[in-house]
Amino acid sequence: MKSLMQKYLERFVRLTVVLINLNSVIAYAQDNTGTISGEVRDAVSKRPLLYANVSVVGTQFGAVTDDKGYFVIKKITQGTYQLKTSYIGYSPLLKDDIVVVHLRNTSASIELFPSQIELNEVSVTGGYFQKPLDQSLSIRSLTQQEIRRSPGSAEDIFRVMQSLPGVATAGGKSAQLIVRGGSPDENLTLLDNIEIYNPIHFARTGESMGIISIINPSLLKGVDFMTGGFPAKYGDKMSSVFEMSLLDGNKEIYNTDINANLGGFGAMVDGPVPGNGSMIFSARRGFFDLLTNLMNKPAAPQYYDAVAKLTYDLDEKNRISIVGFYYLDQILREGTSTTKKTTSEATNFKYDYLTRDDYGTAFGINWRFLFSPKAFSLTTLSFSGNGWNTLQGTETDRSLSGEDIRENSFDVKNEITFNILPNLELKTGGYLRFIDSKHITWKPADTTRIGQIIPATSVSFLPEMSNKVTFFLQDTWRPFSRLSLSTGIRYDYFSFTKESNFSPRIAASFHLTDKTSLNASFGKFYQTPAAYQIALDPHNVFLMSSLATHYIVGIDHLFAEDTKFTVEAYYKDLTEVFVANDTTDVLTNAGSGFARGIEFSLQKKFTDGIVGSASYSYSVSKRRDASNTETYYFEYDRPHIVNLIGGIELSETWQLGFKFQYASGNPYTPVVGTAIKNGTYYAVDGAYNSSRLPDYHKLDIRIDKKFVFEKWTLTAYLDLWNVYNRENVLSYSSKVDATGVITTTPRLDFGILPILGLSAQF
């Protein structure tokens, strides 16, 4: 493995030397300038703001928006800038990381919030850290460039999120999000208001693994990540909301991006469409199957994904955007028929033969209608499909175990926002979802590691189409200049379980000064059982929703316009939690538990060529399977988490970044001895989750070099994971041989791993 990594490093160094030599002999383009264009809108009513001032900080460049809120700033020398936007009656906004590339157009979508405080002694401005009025705490927003340059992420959005306060990493081999002690399936993921069931390649619903996001980060305008206390418009999940917004293609010129790294190859194009429209499209193909062949591994995983968006402004009041994506994951393992597979490798697999296909698709239309200067509606019609097929077996019977699972949904959503008064915003809406699912599985009889007999099962779950109905009402009210209150109520009905739930939410933010605010929130968050959980056994039709009650308090302080410090404490009370059985597939609502913690974070935006953040989280997450049983540490409990991230722009063409992560090891159940059953030795487990894996820590470094040619720009980067080659343990596997000897083998995370990448922009 080390020799392979050394080869990659040597090749990257040679490539870098060649590019540097090329760069020294090829002259920069005579016109090394680019363009910034975009629109400025009211963040509440979405109406365009006419004659807003947009300026490039530190330069003489700027523009005023036209009667559609649109602006264009031309002839800007290539580089990284900040945009400042101001408008009377609104908090000024600073956007960092606006990268101008020669001969290209950079799009900027700007939304201004009405000024919240206007007192002689207090003057609150938006700066770099504006946030939605209805989410006063537990939210972090990231820009496209923050995602791109993050070390140790290989430009994957979910790996970037793993470095945020309150989020634990599942290791380098998984991009799943573990938020405040919750499991990955407790997170809601949205793409332009369309829910995504499985946002990560090779991560099935209910699993903790997954390699890379299905969304090319170059497509993203930005993301909002809410780790608790989210408003009433979001629901059916207990832990977090991850909302991604796609870029609208620019209306000036066509931009083309081609990129490649060890994970795969991709291409993206965006530009104008006749009829006052724009488009953006991306497609990628993974390289993992090529890498596994190089490393002499028996499995050959490969993935494909494509995302597109078409936006049209029908007139000044109506905008329609059509969004679609598709992904396909495939794994093939041929077992003993694969000549490259060694005998020792063959014994590590329960079945010699495996085929696995995971697929997902979504298509939706968003219609935004401004029906008055102070109100707008957003209507979404969408279809989402998600499924997987698996066959496992031996050379003689390749279908000993298998599954054919599908879940489709048809959604109609509507949301209306009224800016009733300057200090009062009202939002109401609802949605109707039709769910069509199929779940067919079969597996032979088996024996667990500790000697328990598991009988053969065959499940055919073909329910009639069910539906979910939701209504919500929420408001944001500023009774006086220092105080902001957000209240909401949500109603959910699930026809399959005949269950109705009401979820109250409330949040408050009090400004002590123009730089410091106190924040608090409370809310109830229900999560209905998923089809894959109900389908496991006929008894599971009696499952009801799980409930998490969030209590959060915090304080944030601006040390400077680009630097913010935050402290938050939270408590999540969990009831009616789904509990599984060790030897059957019956689930119950007998579980309960809690998660509590405190988070400290310091964030500096990218200004003066420097960016950075530091965070520390302490938390405890415990569960109980029944009222008469002991509590235990939940499998995702990680008491101490430290993240240190920094970056510096060494010159106009060189950037350097680093990330250090530390986390307590996950709890696991140790093997404490052996027992004999029917003449065979089996392992004896200790108390459930009574031990911990070794602490997890690693250092990642990223180096970027940009080369500017006459008509295109090339960026080469080295994202070096786990620089000091820490052997981080992800799990232990224990086996007992025929003589009663226990062998425990650690499953390790990646060692030192260079991710080499190239990105060409035309």
Confidence of residue 463 (pLDDT cuts 50, 70, 90): confident
Taking only the tens place, the pLDDT of each residue in 104-126 is 999 898 999 887 544 333 334 45
- What was the pLDDT predicted at 207? 54
What domains does the chain contain, in order, with CATH numbers? 2-10+136-761 (2.40.170.20), 14-112 (2.60.40.1120)
CA atoms within 13 A on the CB side of 73: 27
For the full predicted model, state whether its pTM sits above 0.85. yes
Taking only the tens place, the pLDDT of each residue in 339-381 is 333 333 333 346 778 888 999 999 999 999 998 888 999 999 9
How far is 750 from 661, CA to CA, in rounded Å?
14
- What was the pLDDT predicted at 345? 35
How far is 296 from 450, CA to CA, in rounded Å?
32
Taking only the tens place, the pLDDT of each residue in 33-66 is 899 999 999 988 889 999 999 999 989 999 999 9
Taking only the tens place, the pLDDT of each residue in 680-727 is 888 888 999 999 999 999 999 999 999 988 888 999 999 999 999 999
More confident call, 367 vs 260: 367
Confidence of residue 468 (pLDDT cuts 50, 70, 90): very high
Burial class (CB in 10 A: 0-12, 13-18, 19+), 507: buried
Taking only the tens place, the pLDDT of each residue in 657-684 is 999 999 999 999 999 988 888 788 888 8
Q: For residue 206, is pLDDT > 70?
A: no
- What was the pLDDT predicted at 696? 95
- What was the pLDDT predicted at 238? 94
Rg (CA), the chain: 27
Confidence of residue 256 (pLDDT cuts 50, 70, 90): very high
- What was the pLDDT predicted at 7? 55
3-state secondary structure of 236: coil
Q: For residue 334, is pLDDT > 60?
A: yes
- What was the pLDDT predicted at 225? 93
Confidence of residue 652 (pLDDT cuts 50, 70, 90): confident
The share of the chain scoring above pLDDT 90, in percent, equals 52
The lowest-confidence range among 153-167, 236-250, 340-354, 626-640 is 340-354
Q: Which residues contact 367 (CB under 8 A, 6 or more apart)?
A: 318, 319, 320, 378, 379, 380
Number of other residues whose CB lies within 10 A of the CB of residue 735 = 13
Q: Is the dihedral of CA 595, 601, 605, 611 positive or negative?
A: negative
Q: Which DSSP string corresponds to 9-36?
A: HHHHHHHHHHHHHHHHHSPPPS--EEEE
- Paired residues of 721 in beta bridges: 753
- What was the pLDDT predicted at 449? 66
Taking only the tens place, the pLDDT of each residue in 392-441 is 888 788 888 888 989 899 999 999 999 888 889 999 999 999 999 888 88
